[in-house]
């Protein structure tokens, strides 16, 4: 049999017109904690190459290991096949250099931060670092829900390319993404991001830039009220969660959800929201503050509102109801 | 007359260019990874020369543009210009109850086909994309849709209905439709030609055993029952699909393993079948190799696979009041002597006298596998659905 010849395909087009490039064949992610990992997996599942930036080789390896763990978990629960896992992993790479973002069409900032002020400054710097390396067309996005993108992008040369792209980290299977447009965001950039969201098979929820968007803003108030109900002794934590699950068809009650998200993260959300709106309903319940101070952050630390065993399963007696 | 056959999947486009007058394949090939990184086109011409063209293929339209580009190219082509393509035949997966036969593509048929999308949400949209792209590129060339489900539209209602509330059938069209239709038809017709049998006066069972597998009862040339249903999960055990199963099993697993719908779908479509039972592979060759070395689960898997096919042969013989001809096709049916032999073992009581000597080593050939004295003839026939698509396209445009 004749040997296979290999040639570039371009010269076989019917017409010589310029062909549109494949949109979002590669994206970048800054910070590969739980949010970044989720993003990387989602994008790669849809055939997109992902490069993520972490501070050092050790953290890169850690992120890759976590990603593998999550995929294995999916295989164990029948959601994925081993060959799909191999394909997904082959598209995800780590780096320590911003230079590696040069051919990305979208770079998303997903760093973990501690306080509002430092977080904003760090993120502003991240945006600047990204802009130095990418093309003019590249979209720069943040996954932050409580910091506004207009502020984060204020020091960029071209801030019309910045949007906020909030993919819920609380439910990896969630089908919606909140896409917020900043003051400077151009229609072109916004439309492009909407296409990206469609590409990863999610529904884009258009939002006008506002701290907390929809999901975070509504959830923190619910959690605060749940803490109030608990502190007033109206009912137990389990009963509150049970009621909310059953009556509103929620997969998790407010306390269970808070533990899953991480109480430190929730506290930061609330501080940001209060900083922005100055309204008392966003002031975190003392109960949340107490737990965070004791480093009882939820599932991640094995204890939060509830206590968790090594497999992350809730143990019946809870941290809060002991007294 | 030259007819181009297209088979558009979600990220691939298979094509074949045939000359209907002398029944020769002028070129064939595939575009893979449409819309993804690393896309390419592989083309093979009449002389068997192969070329692989690498580069971005952003969507089906551009993929088809490149196919046409290659077909008319000096280097690898076989046509002087695209004007030499007289018609295009599209393989369409699911035509529901609306499409009983192949048809010329018009605005009306496109509208009706769109209504069939919910029946095959993964396959039909890709078929439609290819069809619209082709219309755009060759607006003056007639196009014909040939449906995988159409051959089975002759099934009687008592064979295609499910025993679920009738209102659900009316509301969503939930019933058995069957797939691989033109493969079953082609091998049955071909075997009748070879054996000089009258297809219109015959009882034939065709087993299409490939990665997906289905078996059909063909009475007097018409499909009267088939093992696949609304979706391709029903019936025979497949590479990674369960085939027939107690529905209670699925709801039981969903509850115990806390599975959502999408994951349950992956479980029965991708983790089950031969892969799930054997833990070895979904590939029959690898499973047989493992069984030879004594792998117990591989041995079990093979037994289950053969038993299921055998059960269906018995069932369809009963449904038709006997059988004259049994045919194996598809990747496994054409290339795996072991499966053919084991499936036919013990069926002497119904007149099947299988000849292991004739069967040994037969791969991708038209061979009679039963003994001279056998009341029921057994054959293996390599399938050729493309030929049927070409014939239908030709019939419809010459009307």
Per-residue pLDDT tens for A9-38?
A: 888 877 655 555 667 889 999 999 888 999
Domains and CATH numbers, chain A: 26-208 (3.40.50.720), 215-315 (1.10.1040.10)
Q: How confident is the model at residue A318 (pLDDT cuts 50, 70, 90)?
A: very low
Q: Which two tokens stand for residue A75?
A: 């295989």
The answer as to whether B87 is a domain residue is yes
Please check whether residues B131 and B221 belong to one and the same domain: no
Residues B281 and B349 in one domain: yes
User: Which one of B59, B140, B148, B225 is the catalytic residue?
Assistant: B148
Q: What does B225-244 look like in DSSP terms, one character per residue?
A: EES--SSTTSSS--SS---S
Do B238 and B319 share a structural domain?
yes
Does some domain include residue B157?
no
Considering the domain architecture, whether residues B19 and B83 belong to the same structural domain is answered as: yes
pLDDT tens across A92-129, in order?
999 999 999 999 999 999 987 665 556 888 999 999 99
Q: Are residues B241 and B107 in the same domain?
A: no
Asked whether A273 and A212 are in contact (CB, 8 A), the reply is yes
CA distance readout (Å), A240 to A231, A233, A315, A323? 12, 11, 17, 17
Structural domain includes residue B65: yes
CB neighbour burial string for B231-252, b if at least 16 within 10 angstroms, e if fewer: bbbbbbbbbbbbbeeeeeebee
> What pLDDT was estimated at residue A79?
85
Tell me if A79 and B65 make a contact (CB, 8 A cut-off): no
Mean pLDDT of chain A: 88
Q: Is B388 contained in some domain? A: no
How many angstroms away from the CA of B257 is the closest CA of chain A?
7
pLDDT (0 to 100) of residue A322:
42
Contact A5 B41 (CB under 8 A): no
Nearest residue in A to B51, CA atom: A5
Nearest residue in chain B measured CA to CA from A12? B69
Does one domain contain both B206 and B142?
no
CB contact under 8 A, A6 and B54: yes
Positions of chain B with pLDDT lower than 50, given as ranges: none
Least CB-CB distance to B54: which of A9, A19, A25? Answer: A9
CB-CB under 8 Å, B270 with A12: no
Rounded to the nearest angstrom, the minimum Cα separation between B198 and chain A is: 39
How far out from the chain centre does Cα A48 lie?
17
B141 and B212 in one domain? no
Q: What is the pTM of this model?
A: 0.82
- For residues B209 and B294, state if they share a domain: yes
- Identify whether B257 is part of a domain: yes
Q: What 3-state DSSP class applies to B45?
A: strand
Q: Which of B120, B147, B174 is the last residue of a domain?
A: B147
Looking at the structure of chain B, the number of domains it has is 2
Give the Cα-Cα-Cα angle A18, A19, A20 (nearest 5 degrees).
120
Q: Within this chain, do residues B232 and B140 fall inside the same structural domain, yes or no?
A: no
Whether B249 and B336 map to the same domain: the answer is yes
> pLDDT for A145-171, tens place per residue?
888 889 889 999 999 999 999 887 666
Rounded Cα distance between B127 and B10, Å, is: 8
- B122/B251 same-domain check: no
Share of chain A above pLDDT 90, in %: 60
Which residues of chain B does A12 touch, with a Cβ-Cβ cutoff of 8 Å? Answer: 41, 53, 66, 69-70, 73
State which of B131, B147, B163 marks the end of a domain: B147
| pLDDT at residue B56 in the model | 84
Residue B17 φ then ψ, to 5°: -110, 120
Task: Kindly determine whether residue B35 and residue A22, on different chains, have CB atoms separated by under 8 Å.
Answer: yes
Please state, in angstroms and rounded to a whole number, the distance separating the CA atoms of residues A143 and B95.
43
B137 & B249 share domain? no
Catalytic site includes residue B355: no
Any domain includes B223 = yes
Contact list, A77 vs chain B (CB under 8 Å)? 257-259, 263
In whole angstroms, give the CA distance from residue B233 to residue B168.
19
Are B73 and B57 in contact by the 8 Å Cβ rule? The answer is no
Residue B178 located in a structural domain: no
The reply to whether B6 falls in a domain is yes
Rg over CA atoms, chain B: 22
Give the distance from CA A207 to its chain's centroid.
16
Domain that holds residue B210: 196-380
Contact between A138 and A104 under an 8 Å Cβ cutoff? The reply is yes
Three-class SS state of B183: helix
Tell me if chain A has a CB within 8 Å of the CB of B73. yes
Q: How far, CA to CA in Å, does A113 sit from each of A59, A121, B43?
A: 16, 10, 53
pLDDT value at position A320? Answer: 46
What does the pLDDT read at residue A47? Answer: 83
Residue that is last in its domain, among B147, B167, B184: B147
Q: Is B249 part of the contact surface with chain A (CB cutoff 8 Å)?
A: no
Residues of A in contact with B69 (CB under 8 A): 12-14
**Greater confidence, B2 or A323?**
B2
**Is the pLDDT confidence value at A187 over 50?**
yes
CATH number at residue B316: 3.30.420.40
């Amino acid at each position: 049999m004749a040997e296979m010849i290999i040639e570039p395909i371009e010269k076989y087009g019917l017409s010589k017109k310029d062909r549109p490039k494949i949109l979002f064949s590669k994206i970048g992610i800054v910070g590969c904690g739980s949010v970044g990992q989720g993003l990387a997996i989602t994008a790669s599942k849809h055939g997109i190459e992902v490069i993520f930036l972490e501070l050092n080789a050790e953290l890169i390896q850690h992120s890759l290991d976590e990603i593998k763990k999550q995929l294995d978990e999916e295989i164990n629960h029948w959601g994925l096949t081993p060959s799909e896992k191999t394909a997904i992993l082959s598209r995800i790479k780590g780096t320590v250099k911003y230079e590696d973002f040069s051919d990305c069409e979208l770079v998303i900032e997903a760093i973990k931060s501690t306080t509002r002020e430092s977080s904003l400054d760090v993120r502003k710097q991240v945006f600047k670092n990204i802009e130095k390396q990418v093309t003019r067309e590249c979209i720069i996005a943040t996954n932050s829900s409580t910091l506004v993108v207009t502020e984060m992008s204020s020091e960029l040369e071209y801030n019309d390319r910045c949007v906020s792209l909030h993919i819920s980290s609380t439910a990896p299977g969630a089908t919606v993404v909140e896409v917020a447009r900043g003051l400077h965001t151009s229609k072109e950039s916004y439309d492009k991001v909407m296409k990206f969201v469609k590409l990863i098979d999610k529904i884009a929820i258009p939002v006008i830039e506002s701290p907390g968007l929809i999901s975070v803003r509504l959830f923190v108030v619910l959690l605060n009220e749940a803490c109030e109900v608990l502190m007033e002794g109206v009912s137990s934590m389990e009963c509150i969660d049970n009621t909310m699950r059953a009556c509103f068809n929620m997969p998790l009650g407010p306390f269970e959800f808070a533990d899953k998200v991480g109480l430190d993260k929730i506290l930061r959300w609330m501080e940001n929201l209060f900083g922005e709106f100055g309204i008392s309903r966003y002031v975190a319940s003392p109960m949340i503050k107490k737990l965070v101070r004791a480093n009882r952050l939820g599932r991640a630390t094995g204890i939060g509102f509830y206590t968790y065993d090594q497999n992350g399963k809730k143990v019946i007696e809870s941290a809060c109801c002991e007294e | 007359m030259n007819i181009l056959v297209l088979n558009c999947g979600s990220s691939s486009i298979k094509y074949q260019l045939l000359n209907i007058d002398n029944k020769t394949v002028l070129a064939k090939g595939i575009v893979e990874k449409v819309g993804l990184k690393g896309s390419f086109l592989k083309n093979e011409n009449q002389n068997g020369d192969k070329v692989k063209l690498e580069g971005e293929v952003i969507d089906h339209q551009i993929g088809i543009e490149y196919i046409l580009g290659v077909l008319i190219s000096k280097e690898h082509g076989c046509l002087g210009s695209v004007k030499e393509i007289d018609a295009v035949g599209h393989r369409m997966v699911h035509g529901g109850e609306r499409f009983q036969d192949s048809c010329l593509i018009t605005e009306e048929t496109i509208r009706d086909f769109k209504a069939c999308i919910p029946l095959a949400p993964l396959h039909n949209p890709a078929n439609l994309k290819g069809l619209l792209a082709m219309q755009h590129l060759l607006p003056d060339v007639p196009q014909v849709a040939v449906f995988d489900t159409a051959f089975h539209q002759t099934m009687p209602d008592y064979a295609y209905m499910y025993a679920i509330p009738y209102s659900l059938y009316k509301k969503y069209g939930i019933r058995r439709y069957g797939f691989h239709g033109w493969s079953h038809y082609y091998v049955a017709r071909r075997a009748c030609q070879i054996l000089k049998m009258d297809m219109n006066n015959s009882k034939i069972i065709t087993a299409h055993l490939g990665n997906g597998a289905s078996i059909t009862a063909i009475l007097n040339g018409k499909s009267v029952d088939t093992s696949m249903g609304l979706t391709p999960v029903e019936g025979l055990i497949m590479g990674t699909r369960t085939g027939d199963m107690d529905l209670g099993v699925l709801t039981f697993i969903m509850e115990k393993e806390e599975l959502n719908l999408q994951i349950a779908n992956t479980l029965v479509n991708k983790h089950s079948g031969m892969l799930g039972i054997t833990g070895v592979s979904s590939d029959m060759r690898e499973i047989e190799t493992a069984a030879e070395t004594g792998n117990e689960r591989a041995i079990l898997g093979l037994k289950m696979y053969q038993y299921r096919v055998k059960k269906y042969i018995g069932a369809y013989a009963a449904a038709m009041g006997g059988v004259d001809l049994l045919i194996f096709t598809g990747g496994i049916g054409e290339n795996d002597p072991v499966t053919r032999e084991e499936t036919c073992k013990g069926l002497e009581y119904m007149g099947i006298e299988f000849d292991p000597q004739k069967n040994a080593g037969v791969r991708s050939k038209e061979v009679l596998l039963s003994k001279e004295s056998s009341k029921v003839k057994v054959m293996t026939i390599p399938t050729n659905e493309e030929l049927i698509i070409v014939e239908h396209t030709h019939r419809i445009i010459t009307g």
